C-alpha cells in the first residue's frame, strides 16, 4: 500500500485544490505518471505519482481544498482490492497568514502577499536591480504595503533603515544585507583603481600639538579631522572625484559632504556626512565629527546625513592598518583611506631621520577619473598637510 | 479682458464667420433663440439666416446635412444640443463623416466641425448629463477635442475649421458660465498637444474637460499636505498626445486618470492601458482612476454630486496611491 498525499508545490504552499484525477479507481499507475491536477495559488499543476500499483481509493473529490500532507489516494500493489475503505485523512493545517479585517482609521498592516510574490512596484524593482539590492525583506511603505522607489532609495543609500525602529538583531541583519548589496554593486559596476602615497606628517603633528595646547581640553582636535579637511580642500583641485554616478554619467556635486566611515560596536558601519566640510572650520568639524560618532552609535542619525555624502573618508589607523584599499560606496565615485600614523625612517636633505608618516590611499572610479587626476589629488592632499595652518 | 466660456465659444464662431464665407452655423435653436447655452446669441442678427440656421429636431438629418455641405466645399459648424442627443446622429457620424475619406480612396474630404455640450453637474437628470466623448474617441477618422479653458474654447474652434477631416468639440456644460481671462490677438490653439496646467513631481493627474478644474483644486489642496501634483489637461482625446502624458508619468511615477464618464470601458481605461503598455517600469504604484459611478446620472443634487468625480475623491485617490 502506498499513499498519495497533497504535495508541497512551493515553499509557501499550505493547501491545494484538487482540480481533477487523471486516474480512476482500478487504473494501473507507474512511478512518474500524472495522477492528478492540483491547483495551487499560483497555477494548476500536473502532479506525478511516486509509486507503482493500482489505484485503490480516491479519497479527495475534485474541487476539494485540502492541506499539504493530506492523504488523497491509496495505491495498492497488483492484486485484489482492499476490504475496508479508508476515510479521508487530514493533517492539521499549518497556520495560514490571513489578512486582518482593517479597522477604520487604522493603517492597514502590510502583509506579504498571499501569492508569495514580492509586492513591489515595477519602478522600484527596476531601481533595486540597478543598485544590486535584494528587495526581499524590505518593508514597503506604498499602497497596500508595496515596496516603492523611495523604499529602495532609502535602503540603498542608508545602511540603517532609520525610519523603522527595529530590534537590534533585525537591524543588524538588515544592515549587513544593505552593506552586502551596496558593496557587491560597487565591485560589480565600478572599475576601481587604487593609488597611495606616504605623507610626512611632522609639520601637521607639530602644528596640531601647538594648536591643541592653546585649546581647552574639550575642544582639542584629532589628526583625523585634519585629514578630512585636507581631503575636502584637495577636492576643489580635482572636483571630478566629488561626484555621484547617476543614470550612466557622473554628476559633479557643487557642495562637498564628506562621509566619514564609523564602525559600530555591534558590527557593521555607517558613513554619515559632514556637510560642507570644505567650508567648516577645524573646531566645528571636530565637534560635528564627535557628534556624528556619538549619534551613529546611538542609532540616531538623520536620513540626510546618511544619504548626502559625496565622497567617503575612512581611517583605519586605530586598528594598526597601514594602507586602506577601500571599496567605493555607490553612487559616490571615490573613497579616501588613511592608515596608521607611524614613525618611519625618512630621507630628507640627504639625511635619514625618523618622521611620523601616514599612508593615504585613493580608490576611484575609472569611469569618472583617471590615475593622472587621482595622483594630482593625492599630491594636493600631501601639499595641504604640509601647510596645516591653512586648513 | 475677462469673458465667460460661452462668450469664448461665441467669439470663436464670430471670428470664423467673419474670416471665411464658407463657414455657417446650424443646429437646434441656434438662431432665434441664440442657442440652448446662449453660445450663438446675437449671431443671427449679425450674420443673417443664410449663415445661422435653425434646424428641425432631427440630429440625424442636420448632422447629415452638415456632412453633405462639407463634402460640397462649405465649412459647417453643426451644434448638437448635448452629447446625449448626438446618438441619434451616430450613424451619420460613424458611417459617413468618419469613413468617407477612406471609402472614396481619399477623393472626398469632410471638413465638418460638430460642437456639443457634455457632462453633468447642473441637475438636468440622466438624459442630459452623460459624458460620452470617450465613445467618440474610439472612432478613427475624426478628431475629438475637449476644451477646458476660455482660451481653448475660443481657439480650438478656429484650428478645427482648418482641418480637412471631421472635428468634434465637446464643451462641458458646467463650464459655460465660467469666467476667465482671454488673451488678445492670435486666437488659434494647437490641437495636437495636451497641456500641462500645473507642474509637480509626486503624482500625475491626467484629465480633460470639466474635470480639469476639480483636479486643479485637488492639486492645490494636496499641495498643503506637501504632495506636489502635476496636472495634465489631455484636451485632445483623439489623436491622443501620448508624449506629454507619458513624460509626466515617467517623471512622477504615479498616475491618476480622472474622467467624468463611467469607469467601465471609459476613456480613462484607454489612458490607463497606454500607461501600462508604455511606461510600466516607471510606475511606482498602480494607475488609479476616478470616474463616475455606474448609474444614470441622478437628478437630486446630493445624489448627482455623489455620482460624479469630486475634489474629495481625487484627493482620496492620491493619498491612497502614495501609501
Question: Could you report the per-residue pLDDT of B299-322, keeping only the tens digit for each?
Answer: 999 999 999 999 999 999 999 999
Q: Which residues of chain A make contact with B201, given a CB cutoff of 8 A?
A: none
Q: How far apart are CA B3 and CA B11, in angstroms?
A: 10
Instruction: Tell me if the domain spanning A2-76 has CATH number 3.40.470.10.
Output: no
- In a 3-state reduction of DSSP, which class is residue A260? strand
B49's grid cell = 439666416
Q: Are A150 and A169 in contact (CB under 8 A)?
A: no
Q: What is the ipTM of this complex?
A: 0.72
Q: What is the mean pLDDT of chain A?
A: 83
Confidence check: pLDDT of A263 > 90: no
Hey, what's the torsion of the CAs at A214, A220, A223, A224, to 10 degrees?
A: -150
Among B284, B320, B322, beta carbon nearest to A123: B284
pLDDT at A113 over 50: no
Q: What is the pLDDT of residue A349?
A: 85
Check A124 against B286: CB less than 8 A apart. Answer: no
The residue of A143, A146, A154 whose CB has the most chain B CBs within 10 angstroms, and thus the best one to mutate to test that interface, is: A143
Mean pLDDT of A354-379: 95
Q: Which of B253, B320, B321 sits opposite A123 (nearest CB)?
A: B253
- Dihedral over alpha carbons B157, B133, B221, B290 (to 10 degrees): -170
Q: What is the CATH architecture of B195-321?
A: 3-Layer(aba) Sandwich (3.40)
* pLDDT band, very low/low/confident/very high, at A86 (cuts 50, 70, 90): low
How many CB atoms within 10 Å of residue A105? 5
Nine-digit cell at A148?
516603492
Whether A143 and B282 lie within 8 Å, measured CB to CB: no
C-alpha Rg value of chain A to the nearest Å: 32
* Mean pLDDT over the full length of chain B: 96
By Cβ distance, the residue of B281, B282, B284 closest to A142 is B284
What is the band of B184 on the pLDDT scale with cuts at 50, 70, 90?
Answer: confident
Does position A112 have pLDDT exceeding 50, yes or no?
A: no
CA atoms within 13 A on the CB side of A22: 14
Nearest partner of B118 among B174, B52, B177, B179, judged by Cα:
B174
Q: Cβ contact (<8 Å) for A122 and B285?
A: no
- Indicate the pLDDT class of residue A19, thresholds 50, 70 and 90: confident
Domain boundaries, given as residue ranges, for chain A: 2-76, 122-184, 191-390
Provide, as residue numbers in chain A, all residues whose Cβ is less than 8 Å from the Cβ of B282. 122-123, 126
A128, A131, A133, A139: CA torsion to nearest 10: -50
Query: Would you place residue A2 in the very low, low, confident or very high pLDDT band (cuts 50, 70, 90)?
Result: confident
Q: What is the CA radius of gyration of chain B?
A: 19
Closest by CA position to B46, among listed B74, B10, B85, B70: B10
Maximum Cα interatomic distance, chain A, rounded to a whole number of Å: 107
Q: How many CA atoms lie within 13 A of A200 on its CB side?
A: 12
Decide if B323 and A142 are in contact by the 8 Å CB cutoff: yes
Known catalytic residues of B? Answer: 59, 128
Closest Cα in chain A, distance from residue B285 (Å): 6
Contact B323 A121 (CB under 8 A): no
d(CA A50, CA A33): 8
Using the structure block, give the residue that is written with the C-alpha cell 504595503. Answer: A145
Average pLDDT estimate for A78-95? 53
- Position B323 scores a pLDDT of 77
Nearest residue to B205 via CA among B237, B224, B232, B235 = B232
A190 neighbors A248 (Cβ within 8 angstroms): no
What gap in Å lies between CA B167 and CA B235, rounded to an integer?
Answer: 13
pLDDT for A184: 87
Residue whose grid cell is 527596476: A126
Answer whether residue A88 shows pLDDT above 60: no
Decide: helix, strand or coil at residue A338.
Answer: strand
pTM for the predicted model, two decimal places: 0.57
Sheet holding B52-54, edge to edge: B52-54, B23-27, B75-82, B113-118, B167-172, B143-145, B236-238
3-state secondary structure A196-233: EEEEECHHHHHHHHHHHHHCCHHHCCCHHHHHHHHHHH
Share of chain A above pLDDT 70, in %: 83
Query: Quick one: cell of A2?
Result: 502506498
CATH code of the domain occupying B2-181 = 3.40.50.970
CB of B48 within 8 A of CB of B92?
no
| The three three-digit cell numbers of residue B68, written as one number | 453633405
CA dihedral angle for residue B300, residue B179, residue B7, residue B117, rounded to 10 degrees = -30
**Three-class secondary structure assignment of chain B:** CEEEHHHHHHHHHHHHHHHCCCEEEEECCCCCCCCCCCCCCCHHHHHCCCCEEECCCCHHHHHHHHHHHHHCCCEEEEEEEEHHHHHHHHHHHHHHHCCHHHHCCCCCCCCCEEEEEECCCCCCCHHHCCCCHHHHCCCCCCEEECCCCHHHHHHHHHHHCCCCCCEEEEEEHHHCCCEEECCCCCCCCCCCCCEEEECCCCEEEEECCCHHHHHHHHHHHHHHCCCCEEEEECCEEECCCHHHHHHHHHHHCCEEEEEEEECCCCHHHHHHHHHHHHHHHHCCCCCEEEEECCCCCCCCHHHHHHHCCCHHHHHHHHHHHCC
| Residue A54 to residue A24: CA distance in whole angstroms | 9
pLDDT of residue B201: 95
pLDDT at A99 over 50: no
- Measuring CA to CA, which residue among A85, A111, A86, A82 is closest to residue A96? A111
Read off the pLDDT band of A101 (50, 70, 90).
very low
B317: nearest CA partner in chain A? A143
Chain B residues within an 8 Å CB radius of A121: 253, 283-285
* Cα nearest neighbour of A125 on chain B: B281
Closest-CA distance of chain A to residue B309, Å: 21
Residue A167 pLDDT: 53
pLDDT tens-digit readout, A150-172: 888 888 765 444 334 445 666 67
Q: Do the two domains B2-181 and B195-321 of this chain adopt the same fold?
A: yes
- Asked if B145 contacts B100 with a C-beta cutoff of 8 angstroms, the reply is no
User: Which of A94, A89, A73, A110 minimizes the C-alpha distance to A11?
Assistant: A94
- Angle at the Cα of A75 (from A71 to A80), degrees rounded to 5? 135
A191-390: which CATH architecture? 2-Layer Sandwich (3.30)
Q: Domains of chain B: which residue ranges? A: 2-181, 195-321
Which residues are CB-neighbours of A149 under 8 A, at least 6 positions away?
Answer: A121, A123, A124, A127, B253, B284
The C-alpha atoms of residue B287 and residue B205 are separated, in whole angstroms, by 10
Q: How many CA atoms lie within 13 A of A291 on its CB side?
A: 13
Q: Which of A47-56, A167-176, B134-143 has the lowest mean pLDDT?
A: A167-176
Per-residue pLDDT at A214: 92
Rounded distance between C-alpha atoms, residue B81 and residue A95, angstroms: 63
Measured between alpha carbons, how far is A301 from A160 in angstroms, rounded to an integer? 9
C-alpha angle A40-A41-A42 in degrees, rounded to nearest 5: 90
The alpha carbon of residue B291 and the mean position of all alpha carbons in its chain are separated, in whole angstroms, by 16
d(CA A256, CA A233): 9
Cβ neighbours of B253 in A, within 8 Å = 121, 123, 149
Could you give the 3-state DSSP secondary structure of residue A139?
coil
Distance from CA of A109 to the nearest CA of B (A): 12
Instruction: Place A117 in a pLDDT band, splitting at 50, 70 and 90.
Output: confident
Q: Mean pLDDT throughout A348-373?
A: 94
CB atoms within 10 A of CB A113: 16
Task: Check residue A8 and give its pLDDT.
Answer: 72
Instruction: Flag the least confident range among A258-267, B44-53, B145-154, B274-283.
Output: A258-267
Residue A146, helix vs strand vs coil:
coil
CB distance B181 to B113 below 8 Å: no
Amino acid at each position: 500500500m502506498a499513499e498519495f498525499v497533497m504535495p508541497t508545490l512551493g515553499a509557501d504552499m499550505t493547501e491545494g485544490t484538487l482540480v481533477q484525477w487523471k486516474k480512476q479507481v482500478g487504473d494501473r499507475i507507474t512511478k512518474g505518471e500524472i495522477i492528478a491536477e492540483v491547483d495551487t495559488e499560483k497555477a494548476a499543476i500536473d502532479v506525478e505519482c511516486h509509486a507503482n500499483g493500482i489505484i485503490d481509493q480516491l479519497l479527495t473529490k475534485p474541487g476539494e481544498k485540502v492541506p499539504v500532507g493530506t492523504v488523497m489516494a491509496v495505491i495498492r500493489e497488483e492484486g485484489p482490492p482492499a476490504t475496508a475503505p479508508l476515510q479521508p485523512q487530514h493533517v492539521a493545517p499549518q497556520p495560514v497568514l490571513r489578512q486582518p479585517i482593517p479597522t477604520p482609521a487604522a493603517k492597514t498592516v502590510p502583509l506579504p502577499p498571499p501569492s508569495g510574490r514580492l509586492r513591489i512596484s515595477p519602478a522600484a524593482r527596476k531601481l533595486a536591480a540597478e543598485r544590486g539590492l535584494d528587495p526581499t525583506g524590505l518593508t514597503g511603505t506604498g499602497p497596500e504595503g508595496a515596496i516603492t522607489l523611495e523604499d529602495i532609495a532609502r535602503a540603498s543609500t542608508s545602511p540603517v533603515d532609520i525610519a523603522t525602529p527595529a530590534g537590534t538583531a533585525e537591524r543588524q541583519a538588515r544592515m549587513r544585507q544593505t552593506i552586502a548589496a551596496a558593496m557587491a554593486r560597487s565591485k560589480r559596476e565600478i572599475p576601481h583603481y587604487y593609488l597611495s602615497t606616504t605623507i610626512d606628517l611632522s609639520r601637521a603633528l607639530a602644528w596640531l600639538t601647538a594648536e591643541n595646547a592653546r585649546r581647552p581640553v574639550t575642544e582639542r582636535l584629532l589628526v583625523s579631522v585634519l585629514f578630512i579637511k585636507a581631503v575636502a580642500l584637495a577636492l576643489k583641485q580635482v572636483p571630478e572625484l566629488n561626484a555621484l554616478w547617476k543614470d550612466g554619467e557622473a554628476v559633479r556635486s557643487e557642495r562637498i559632504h564628506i562621509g566619514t566611515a564609523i564602525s559600530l560596536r555591534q558590527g557593521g558601519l555607517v558613513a554619515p556626512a559632514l556637510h560642507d566640510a570644505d567650508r567648516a572650520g577645524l573646531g566645528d568639524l571636530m565637534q560635528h565629527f564627535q557628534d556624528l560618532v556619538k549619534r551613529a552609535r546611538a542609532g540616531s542619525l538623520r536620513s540626510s546625513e546618511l544619504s548626502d555624502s559625496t565622497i567617503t573618508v575612512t581611517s583605519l589607523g586605530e586598528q594598526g592598518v597601514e594602507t586602506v584599499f577601500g571599496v567605493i560606496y555607490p553612487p559616490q565615485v571615490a573613497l579616501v583611506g588613511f592608515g596608521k600614523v607611524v614613525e618611519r625612517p625618512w630621507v630628507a636633505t640627504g639625511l635619514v631621520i625618523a618622521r611620523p608618516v601616514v599612508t593615504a590611499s585613493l580608490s576611484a572610479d575609472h569611469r569618472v577619473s583617471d590615475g593622472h587626476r587621482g595622483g594630482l589629488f593625492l599630491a594636493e592632499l600631501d601639499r595641504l598637510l604640509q601647510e596645516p595652518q591653512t586648513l | 479682458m475677462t469673458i465667460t466660456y460661452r462668450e469664448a465659444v461665441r467669439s470663436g464662431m464670430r471670428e470664423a464667420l467673419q474670416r471665411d464665407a464658407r463657414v455657417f452655423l446650424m443646429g437646434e435653436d441656434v438662431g432665434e433663440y441664440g442657442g440652448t447655452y446662449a453660445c450663438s446669441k446675437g449671431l443671427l442678427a449679425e450674420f443673417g439666416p443664410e449663415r445661422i440656421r435653425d434646424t428641425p429636431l432631427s440630429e440625424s438629418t442636420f448632422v447629415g446635412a452638415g456632412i453633405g455641405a462639407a463634402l460640397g466645399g462649405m465649412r459647417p459648424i453643426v451644434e448638437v444640443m448635448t452629447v446625449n442627443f448626438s446618438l441619434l446622429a451616430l450613424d451619420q457620424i460613424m458611417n459617413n463623416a468618419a469613413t468617407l475619406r477612406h471609402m472614396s480612396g481619399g477623393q472626398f474630404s469632410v471638413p465638418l466641425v460638430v460642437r456639443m455640450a457634455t457632462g453633468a453637474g447642473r441637475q438636468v437628470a440622466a438624459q442630459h448629463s452623460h459624458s460620452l466623448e470617450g465613445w467618440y474617441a474610439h472612432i478613427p477618422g475624426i478628431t475629438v477635442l475637449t476644451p477646458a479653458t476660455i482660451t481653448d474654447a475660443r481657439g480650438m474652434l478656429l484650428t478645427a475649421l482648418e482641418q480637412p477631416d471631421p472635428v468634434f468639440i465637446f464643451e462641458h456644460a458646467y463650464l459655460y458660465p465660467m469666467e476667465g481671462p482671454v488673451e488678445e490677438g492670435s486666437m488659434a490653439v494647437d490641437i495636437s498637444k495636451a497641456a500641462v496646467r500645473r507642474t509637480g513631481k509626486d503624482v500625475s493627474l491626467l484629465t480633460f474637460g470639466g474635470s480639469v478644474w476639480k483636479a486643479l483644486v485637488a492639486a492645490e489642496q494636496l499641495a498643503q499636505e506637501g504632495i506636489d501634483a502635476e496636472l495634465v489637461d489631455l484636451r485632445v482625446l483623439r489623436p491622443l498626445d501620448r508624449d506629454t502624458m507619458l513624460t509626466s508619468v515617467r517623471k512622477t511615477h504615479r498616475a491618476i486618470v480622472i474622467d467624468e464618464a463611467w469607469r467601465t470601458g471609459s476613456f480613462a481605461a484607454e489612458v490607463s492601458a497606454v500607461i501600462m503598455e508604455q511606461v510600466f517600469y516607471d510606475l511606482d504604484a498602480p494607475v488609479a482612476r476616478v470616474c463616475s459611478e455606474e448609474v444614470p446620472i441622478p437628478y437630486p443634487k446630493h445624489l448627482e454630486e455623489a455620482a460624479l468625480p469630486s475634489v474629495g475623491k481625487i484627493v482620496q485617490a492620491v493619498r491612497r496611491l502614495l501609501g
